[in-house]
């Protein structure tokens, strides 16, 4: 293993780096290299987890060309973030493998594909966290998976679809498709699921359904009932907001007749405009099993455009704010414009997110603005914590197939997941990874560590086209930690764009990276003997900010105290 700091870094022509198809000013889509769609989400332990249809599986099955007919989508992608701009890819849930033992007769109860997931979770009375992931099996029905963490391992609790053509209230002659589930657990701990779509192209297709779930969350508790959703088409989701149920769906392509809409408004005592085609509509109820209780409230999600001809969204509250997750096709459009894929290749979608405004008391949701700029980060990325290589705001030259599972128990990720701890990223010459809003603090970074194998030259940059600030050369046949010393004056403060780029790479796989913070001058090493003599103590972080309360999980802090002789001391404390 070798690790060298280049004091005079050689400028690498920015044109030799892989193209930036996402854009350094854009936070949408959430992934710059993985096609995914039909988002759903949950908040857990300070992170938001996003799940979606694996359009990239179809893209690869097609040989990276042709149309997306969804038939090869048999897995679900998983991402998570704690700041809303840097997203960790947790790999895919192999639904086909998990459901391989399902019954094959009757045919419509067996497994075929996994589209449009919906997810929820709860803590049982015994204190066990349980996660439930529902997906549609094309138009045939809805299946369910279960886990004890948001990233698995998952299992199939049933041996067939949970909702299918024989499910009471889900008669395909009326609903046309028992698909696109939307799930929620209400304030009383009761689970509910909505589904249905592809009804006749009229103002009232009668294709939407809702049903109560048994305490197991894996079976229906009675028959499904209708939701009379005007211009309903697909993309069902459920929320509970302010004690009431909020049902969202995508509108259809039926012609909008003013007389019909005016009659509907008069009948239901509402005064809202009729929805445009392919928009996300919402309805509210305080008694979900009463079809007449649902009140149409309007459109909250516009047609996203961005190269897609369909719409699917999820409304998620995260750290007190609401977000609108949806899909478009900006990455596909960018690739087509650059000639990376053929012009007839499509439509392969990408998950995006924009801020939403929700009045929880009235359940009023003004229309969301969708754009490529996306959302602002809710916190800074801490470079002094171990960061997985698959955590990115953007990237170039890193493809889906380059995420490879390796042998078990190599390193345990701080995220505690079963996928990411065994995942590494294959980097080629010109490949780069970008993270955003990185806070190096006031003292700066003194070291950089890259956990990798192979032979490579790594440039650390601020921005893709920026001049290299430091360069690491390494070579090892095993996954090892390669470290270089840094000039801390060049790595301090908040950096909007930090890039790890490879000017040379041969069989390089990267697992993780981490900086070490410069220790301030005049700080003593820990001396256990002085602790008993201290009469008063205050703790500060390495930027000099005074800490209050527990600091057990803060890593290194500075403890300042006065000993029994009145002498003031500073020392590092872990």
Write the DSSP assignment of 220-263 as a string of letters: BSS--EEE--TTEEEEEEEEEETTEEEEEEEE------HHHHHH
SS3 category, 206? coil
Q: Is 544 left (phi over 0), alpha (psi -120 to 50) or beta?
A: left
Residue-by-residue DSSP string for 507-547: EEEEEEEEEEEPPPTTPBPP-GGGGGG-SEEEEE-TTSPEE
Which of 387, 278, 367, 376 lies closest to 327, judged by CA? 278
d(CA 401, CA 355): 31
Catalytic residue among 55, 234, 333, 421: 234
Catalytic residue (choose from 38, 333, 390, 421): 38
Rounded CA-CA distance 168/388 in Å is: 46
Local structure of 17: helix, strand or coil: coil
Confirm if 440 and 497 have CB atoms less than 8 A apart: no
Nearest to 77 by CA among 54, 45, 55: 54
440 in Cβ contact with 490 (< 8 Å): no
Helices (H), 171-329: 172-175, 258-268
Q: Scanning the structure block, which residue is given the tokens 């000099």?
A: 544
Strand partners for 227 = 208
Q: Determine the number of helices (DSSP H) and then strands (DSSP E) in the chain.
A: 5, 31
Q: For 110-169, what is the HEC assignment? A: CCCCCEEEEEEEEECCCCCEEEEEEEECCCCCEEEEEECCCCCCCECCCCCCCECCCCCC
Backbone φ/ψ region at 189: left (φ over 0), alpha (ψ -120 to 50), beta: left
> Peptide bond preceding 347: is omega within 30 degrees of 0, i.e. cis?
yes
Burial 123-162 (b: 16+ CB within 10 A, else e): eeeeeeeebbbbbbbbbbbbbbbbbebbbbebebebebbb
Catalytic-residue membership of 234: yes
Q: How many residues are given for the chain?
A: 574
Complete edge-to-edge strand list for the sheet that includes strand 191-195: 182-185, 191-195, 208-212, 225-227
Residue 412 structure tokens: 């345990």
| CB proximity list for 321: less than 8 A, separation 6 or greater | 355, 378
Query: Rounded CA gap, 328 and 435, in Å?
Result: 22
Helix, strand, or coil (residue 568): strand
Has 38 been annotated as catalytic? yes
Listed residue (386, 407, 418) closest to 514, CA to CA:
386
Instruction: Say whether the peptide bond before residue 29 is cis (omega within 30 degrees of 0).
Output: yes
Active site residues per annotation: 38, 234
């Amino acid at each position: 293993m070798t690790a060298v700091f280049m004091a005079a870094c050689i400028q690498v022509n920015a044109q030799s780096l892989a193209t930036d198809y996402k854009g350094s000013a854009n936070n949408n889509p959430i992934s710059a290299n993985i096609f995914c769609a039909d988002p759903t989400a949950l908040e857990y332990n300070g992170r938001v987890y996003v799940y979606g249809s694996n359009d990239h599986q179809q893209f690869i099955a097609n040989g990276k060309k042709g149309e997306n007919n969804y038939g090869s989508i048999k897995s679900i992608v998983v991402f998570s973030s704690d700041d809303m701009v840097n997203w960790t890819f947790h790999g895919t849930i192999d639904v086909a493998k998990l459901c391989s033992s399902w019954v094959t007769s009757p045919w419509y109860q067996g497994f075929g594909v996994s589209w449009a997931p919906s997810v929820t979770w709860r803590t049982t009375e015994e204190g066990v966290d349980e996660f439930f992931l529902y997906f549609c099996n094309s138009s045939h029905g809805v299946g369910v998976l279960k886990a004890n963490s948001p990233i698995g391992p998952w299992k199939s609790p049933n041996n067939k679809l949970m909702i299918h053509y024989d499910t009471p209230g889900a008669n395909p002659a009326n609903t046309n498709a028992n698909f696109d589930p939307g799930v929620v657990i209400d304030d009383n701990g009761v689970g509910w699921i909505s589904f249905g779509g592809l009804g006749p192209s009229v103002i009232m297709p009668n294709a939407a359904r809702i049903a109560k779930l048994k305490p197991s969350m894996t079976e229906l508790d009675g028959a499904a009932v209708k939701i009379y959703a005007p211009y309903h088409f697909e993309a069902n989701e459920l929320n509970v907001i302010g004690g009431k149920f909020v049902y969202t769906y995508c509108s259809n392509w039926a012609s909008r007749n003013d007389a019909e809409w005016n009659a509907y408004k008069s009948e239901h005592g509402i005064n809202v405009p009729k929805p445009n085609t392919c928009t996300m509509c919402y309805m509210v109820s305080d008694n979900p099993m009463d079809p007449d209780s649902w009140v149409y409230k309007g459109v909250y999600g516009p047609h996203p455009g961005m190269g897609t001809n369909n719409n699917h969204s999820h409304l998620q509250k995260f750290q007190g704010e609401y977000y609108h997750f949806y899909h478009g096709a900006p990455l596909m459009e960018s690739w087509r414009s650059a000639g990376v894929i053929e012009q007839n290749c499509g439509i392969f979608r990408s998950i995006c997110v924009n801020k939403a405004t929700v009045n929880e008391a009235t359940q009023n949701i003004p229309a969301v603005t969708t754009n490529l700029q996306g959302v602002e980060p809710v916190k800074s990325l801490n470079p002094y914590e171990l960061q997985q290589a698959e955590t990115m705001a953007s990237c170039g030259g890193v493809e889906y197939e380059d995420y490879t599972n390796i042998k078990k128990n190599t390193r345990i990720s701080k995220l505690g997941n079963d996928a990411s701890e065994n995942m590494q990223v294959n980097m080629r010459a010109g490949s780069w990874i970008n993270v955003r809003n990185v806070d190096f603090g006031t003292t700066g970074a003194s070291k950089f560590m890259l956990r990798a194998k192979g032979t490579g030259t790594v440039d650390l940059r601020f921005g893709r086209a920026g001049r290299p600030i430091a360069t690491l050369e390494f070579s090892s046949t095993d996954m090892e930690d390669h470290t270089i010393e840094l000039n801390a004056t060049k790595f301090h403060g908040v950096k909007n764009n930090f890039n790890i780029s490879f000017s040379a790479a041969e069989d390089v796989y990267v697992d993780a990276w981490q900086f070490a913070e410069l220790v301030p001058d005049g700080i003593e090493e820990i001396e256990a003997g002085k602790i008993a003599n201290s009469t008063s103590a205050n703790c500060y972080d390495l930027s000099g900010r005074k800490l209050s309360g527990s600091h057990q999980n803060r890593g290194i802090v500075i403890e300042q105290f006065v000993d029994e002789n009145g002498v003031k001391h500073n020392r590092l404390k872990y």
